[in-house]
Amino acid sequence: MYNSDVLIIGSGIAGLSTAIHLAQQNSKLSISLISKSYKEECNTKYAQGGIAAVWDLNEDDLNKHIADTLDAGADLCDEKIVRIVIEEGPSRVQELINWGTRFDKINNLNYDLAKEGGHSERRILHYRDLTGAEIERALLEKVSSFPNVKILEHYFAIDLLTQHHMGYNITRIMKNIECYGCYLLNLQNLQVETHLAKITVLATGGSGQIYKATTNPIVATGDGIAMMYRAKGHVENMEFVQFHPTSLYNPSGENPCFLISEAVRGFGAILKTKKGEEFMHKYDARLSLAPRDIVARAIDSEMKLSGDEFVHLDCRHLEKNSFIDHFPTIYNKCLSIGINPLEQYIPVVPAQHYMCGGIQIDEMGRTSIKNLFAAGECTSSGLHGANRLASNSLLEGAVFGYRVAQDIGKTIDNIQLNTIIPEWDAHGTNDPKEMVLITQSIKELKDIMSYYVGIVRSNVRLKRAMDRLHLLYTETESLYHTTTLSPQLCELRNLITNGYLVTRSAEMRRESRGLHFTTDFPAKNIFLQDTLL
Ligand code: FAD
Ligand code: SIN
């Protein structure tokens, strides 16, 4: 058994921000931060476009950023949360800068603010097309300066510890569920360790890997969301899966798909059909810079009409040196597959990119389970509603990392460690005989989600997905109860739970709104919310 005051699961912007703020507040707290892979491997590292914050008060103001966020969210954002995040955003970005993050400047003076889809002003701070990697670098460097933060790489969180592990019957409608830490699979020796904590924080990122084509790295398997659901905590808005309009078309099925940042369209690139004709005027007056749900659906519709497997992004008219300077990674990636983006069209397709729903949290990152907080992409905070505005996600991670730390600081002294949780019991399980059962089920899951629960949905498709998911679920649960644990099996289980949550939530929403579009209910509607049980 191991214990700490605070156990943070996840080493992206949300987890690291929480750890740094906590450590700054109180050097006596013991803080463990775990990552299932190398500490830098997370969605944060892959972020390209940047972080949105109102910076130039001569040109922009907080109300405009708030209005853009609410507009993208299709009437489902929580306005109070939107205000909090956008008003606190500039301070959190200033902190990132103070902690060593570099953002591009024009002539070494003012920040070079970029524009992305759905933003009415230029307000995206970025570091070339490597913003996430730069933020992750700076945060890891900063966190390493605190001796009371212990980083554990290659530890896989399996399940949250609650009264269930003390033999009590727990249901989703109970209000007094408590969290006491987590069972962790040590990936170096495949032993399960019990990690007790006064407070646990889920900062486990998104679940893009439920789809065949996603920009998310392979660690994005929705583990935190699945753990929360299994622990009978509240999860919501899972039908709102964001597809990025422009991932690089790659017939070899690269995982993850390489992203062609929206900032490229903000820089002037134009979407065209394979024949070279512009089409966005048919869908939205903001053309290639309309919010993502609109652009992704427009591309999907053009591809279905023409039968083409991709559309084109035209960058040929853009200024060469400036393009290479802003987008060196994108430029080099295109060259590596034989496309010079300044002379040829870039073939692009939509790919899963972001999970707007997740663990329900309040304005301080508190979940429905006591002593359990959550921050970042694994949450549903109310910021994104039915569709996230570009570059608001890094901002959300930084703001909620800070808020979670503030709330923990106020309450932790009154919490005792629970020391009567039993060790993991592996009796009755055997080593897996055929790993192919797991890898094949993951492929099946991705097929189900991609064909039946993608950009355009219908009752028949969702029903078909549900039936097939049920079979996968039954097979996998039986494997789980008879097999020694492997990260692959844990991830499969979590992916199926996320697939179920997305599909079930999509079935329950009998309207089209934001990222959820169904041919059976094509309009926005007055909607009676069912509860996910
Ligand atoms: P992550 O950064 O994903 O971190 C999750 C962490 O949890 C990882 O350390 C992982 O190892 C750990 N973890 C997960 N499960 C377990 C487990 N079971 N046990 C132990 N550890 C676990 N957003 C923007 O605002 N601007 C952008 O420009 C932008 N560009 C993007 C480009 C790409 C290609 C992608 C994929 C995303 C982009 N996003 C962007 C979205 C943004 O990067 C993410 O939403 C954000 O970084 C999520 O941060 P996070 O801290 O919540 O999670
Ligand atoms: C991008 O660079 O296009 C991604 C921005 C985001 O996901 O917010």
When pLDDT is cut at 50, 70 and 90, the band that residue 219 belongs to is very high
What tokens appear for 293 in the block?
A: 């749900």
Q: Is 182 in the pocket of ligand 1 (CB under 6 A)?
A: no
Per domain, the residue ranges of the chain are: 2-239+356-414, 246-351, 436-518
Whole-number Cα distances in Å, 343 to 269, 320, 336 = 13, 10, 14
User: Is the Cβ atom of 233 under 6 angstroms away from ligand 1?
Assistant: no
Average pLDDT over all residues of the chain: 96
Plot region of 232 (φ>0 → left; ψ -120 to 50 → alpha; else → beta)? left
Asked if pLDDT for residue 231 goes beyond 80, the answer is yes
Is residue 525's pLDDT more than 80? no
Please give the distance, rounded to the nearest whole angstrom, from the Cα atom of residue 437 to the centre of ligand 2. Answer: 35
**3-state class of 51 per DSSP?**
strand
Q: CA 45, CA 290: separation in Å to the nearest integer?
A: 25
- Kindly state the average pLDDT of the residues 502-514: 96
Mean pLDDT computed over 350-368: 98
User: If pLDDT is split at 50, 70 and 90, which confidence band does 351 have?
Assistant: very high
Identify the nearest ligand to the CA of 8 by its number: 1
Ligand 2 center from residue 497 Cα (angstroms): 26
**Residue 400 beta carbon below 6 angstroms from any ligand 1 atom:** no
Q: Given this model, what pLDDT does residue 430 score?
A: 84
Nearest alpha-carbon partner for 507 in 478, 476, 466: 466
* Residue 526: predicted pLDDT: 54
Does the pLDDT at position 507 exceed 70? yes
CA of 399 to the centre of ligand 2 (A): 18
Does this chain's domain 2-239+356-414 share its CATH topology with 246-351?
Answer: no
CATH fold of 2-239+356-414:
FAD/NAD(P)-binding domain (3.50.50)
CATH class of the domain defined by 436-518:
mainly alpha
In this prediction, residue 429 has a pLDDT band, given cuts at 50, 70 and 90, of confident
Residue 454 above 60 pLDDT? yes
Statement: residue 432 has pLDDT above 80: no
pLDDT band at 163; cut points 50, 70, 90: very high
Q: Which mutation among 48, 183, 188, 204 tests ligand 1's pocket best, with the greatest number of atoms within 8 A of CB?
A: 204
Whether the Cβ atoms of residue 355 and residue 396 lie closer than 8 Å to each other = no
Identify the pLDDT of residue 419: 87
Tokens coding 243:
């597809």
Is residue 398 within 6 Å of ligand 1 at its C-beta? no
What band does 531 get if pLDDT is binned at 50, 70 and 90? low
The Cα–Cα gap between 253 and 40 comes to 24
pLDDT, average across residues 270-284: 97
Of 25-29, 156-160, 527-531, the poorest mean pLDDT is in: 527-531
> Is residue 530 predicted with pLDDT exceeding 80?
no
Give residue 496 CA to ligand 1 midpoint distance, Å. 20
Per-residue pLDDT, 427: 84
pLDDT at 433: 77
pTM exceeds 0.85:
yes
Binning pLDDT at 50, 70 and 90, where does residue 532 land? low
Q: Which sequence positions are flagged as catalytic?
A: 292
* Mean pLDDT, range 92-118, rounded to an integer: 95
**Percent helix, percent strand, percent coil in the chain, to nearest 5:** 40, 20, 45
pLDDT number for residue 448: 98
Q: Among positive and negative, which fits the CA dihedral 401, 406, 409, 410? A: negative
Q: Report the distance separating Cα 263 and Cα 66, nearest Å.
A: 20
Q: Shortest CA distance to 282 belongs to which of 263, 266, 295, 268?
A: 295
Does the structure show a pLDDT above 60 at 528? no
| Cβ–ligand 2 contact at 262 (below 6 Å) | yes
Q: Which of 288-292, 353-357, 385-389 has the lowest mean pLDDT?
A: 288-292
Percent of the chain residues past pLDDT 90, beyond the cut: 92
Cα–Cα distance measured from residue 469 to residue 427, given in angstroms and rounded to the nearest whole number:
28
Residue indicated by tokens 């935190």: 224
Cis check for the bond before 217: say yes or no (omega within 30 of 0).
no
The pLDDT tens digits for 5-30 are 999 999 999 999 999 999 999 999 99
Which range (93-107, 222-236, 372-386, 511-525) has the least confidence? 511-525
Q: What is the pLDDT of residue 75?
A: 95
Q: 246-351 has which fold?
A: Flavocytochrome C3; Chain A, domain 1 (3.90.700)
Question: Over the stretch 250-268, which tens digit does the pLDDT of each residue have?
Answer: 888 899 999 999 999 999 9
Tell how strand 51-52 and strand 358-360 pair up. Answer: unpaired
- Pick 430 or 348 by higher pLDDT: 348
Nearest CA residue ID for atom 28, ligand 1: 49
